[in-house]
Amino acid sequence: MLYAQRDELEKLSDPTLTHSFNSLISAPNSPIPVALTIAGSDSGGGAGIQADLRTFAFHQVHGTSALTCVTAQNTLGITRVDPLPAAAVTAQIEAVVSDIGVQAVKTGMLLNAEIIAAVAEQATRLPNLVVDPVMVSRTGAQLIDDAAIASLRRQLLPLAALITPNRYEAQILSGLEIFSLEDMQAAARQIWTDGANAVLVKGGGMTGELRGVDVWFDGERLEILRTDCIQTQDTHGTGCTLSAAIAANLANGKPLFAAVTAAKRYVTQALQHALRIGQGQGPVGHFFPLLVQEKP
């Protein structure tokens, strides 16, 4: 049986089967919408694959996953990261899509150039791709090396329906420094000019009144997206959650801009019910309706 399954996976690389592979994407063997997350595991449960799957479930979307790396982390930080082989990432994607099918895909931490190249090869035939370009943390710490950043820019970003960089990632992608709303707008325009289909520059790393203000640009429409700024230290996983919510809304059939605005509302509500767990930065409350107790 194991050898038969391996043979089937090898057949997926046959160009003559591309049509049937694509047919499974558009006509899934599932009674509900399906989304795929390609990202790392967060052992603390606040971000990565774990956050994405909870977000998909909240939106009544069946969540599938392709793991790229395993992290040892908690609310205080990350102590170890182990990447999976690029071939293992490819095999996971093919296993999901060849049987179940997907209506939307999001990427998170891809970690290295080899994994990024493997995902980009698969992404040419994946629908509604939302790329959270996990390169730099909200505090400005670089998370992947320069070779991986170059691969992400060159191979993956042009395939995305939407990319969702934070302030520091937008600086790298645009080549512009970002300190003001005007800077965010200029960066969004520049990233789009460089080949992105649509851009959402996130303001979570901004200060003052710009914190949480996002800028959308798709080549025609420039929008400033504002929501209530929630005062909480427990914001772990907000970027993962936003991109996963956008993908879930796309899987449910929403147009791209509507998917973005709905996702922002969801993240705001999840922040309002953030979880004060652990000794550091807790996660957002992905399942907040279950946390609200009705008054007697």
Residue tagged active-site, from 55, 238, 241, 264: 238
Q: Please say if the pLDDT value at position 1 is more than 70.
A: no
Cross-strand bridge partners of residue 236: 283
Is 240 catalytic? The answer is: yes
Is 235 catalytic? The answer is: yes
How far does Cα 177 stand from its chain's mean position?
24
Separation of alpha carbons 286 and 269, rounded Å: 9
Q: Are 105 and 129 in contact (CB under 8 A)?
A: yes
Q: What is the dihedral of CA 69, 172, 222, 219, to 10 degrees?
A: -90
The predicted model scores a pTM of: 0.88
- Give 219 or 143, the one with higher predicted confidence: 219
According to the model, what pLDDT value does residue 185 have?
Answer: 97
Is 45 catalytic? The answer is: no
How, if at all, do strands 104-107 and 214-217 pair?
unpaired
Separation of alpha carbons 202 and 211, rounded Å: 9
Is 202 catalytic? The answer is: yes
Separation of alpha carbons 192 and 199, rounded Å: 7
Separation of alpha carbons 135 and 174, rounded Å: 14
Q: Please say if the pLDDT value at position 173 is more than 80.
A: yes
Provide, rounded to the nearest whole percent, the portion of the chain with pLDDT above 90.
Answer: 71
Residue tagged active-site, from 55, 75, 90, 235: 235
Tell me the pLDDT band of 28, cut-offs 50, 70 and 90.
low
Among 169, 155, 71, 127, CA closest to 256: 127
Task: Indicate the range of 86-95, 228-237, 285-294 predicted with least confidence.
Answer: 285-294
Residue 123 structure tokens:
């992404």
According to the model, what pLDDT value does residue 14 have?
Answer: 40
Tell me the pLDDT band of 92, cut-offs 50, 70 and 90.
very high
Residue tagged active-site, from 239, 241, 264, 282: 239
Cα→Cα distances 27→33, 59, 217, Å: 10, 20, 31
Separation of alpha carbons 221 and 217, rounded Å: 6
Q: What is the mean pLDDT of the chain?
A: 87
According to the model, what pLDDT value does residue 7 have?
Answer: 41
Residue tagged active-site, from 107, 240, 241, 285: 240
- Give 111 or 140, the one with higher predicted confidence: 111
Q: Please say if the pLDDT value at position 295 is more than 50.
A: no
Q: What is the pLDDT of residues 50-69, one digit of tens each?
A: 999 999 999 999 999 999 99
Q: For the chain, which domains are there?
A: 32-281 (3.40.1190.20)
Q: Please say if the pLDDT value at position 223 is more than 90.
A: yes
Residue tagged active-site, from 106, 202, 254, 264: 202
Q: Please say if the pLDDT value at position 139 is more than 90.
A: no
Is 101 catalytic? The answer is: no
Contacts of 134 (CB under 8 A, 6+ apart): 39, 108, 109, 110, 143, 144, 169, 239
Q: What single DSSP character describes residue 153? A: I
